[in-house]
Amino acid sequence: MANKKWSNLNNDFNIIFDKLTSISEVSDDGSISNQAFDFCSIDGLQEIMPMKTVDIIGVISQLGEAESINLKSGGTKLRRHV
DSSP 27-51: ---S-SPPP---B--GGGGGGSPTT
What pLDDT does residue 80 have? 85
The SS3 of residue 74 is coil
pLDDT one digit per residue (tens) for the chain, 82 residues = 666 676 766 667 777 788 999 989 988 888 877 777 888 888 888 888 888 878 888 888 888 899 999 999 999 999 887 7
pLDDT at 1: 61
Which pLDDT does position 18 carry in this prediction?
87
What pLDDT sits at residue 29? 87
3-class SS of residue 4: helix
pTM over 0.75: no
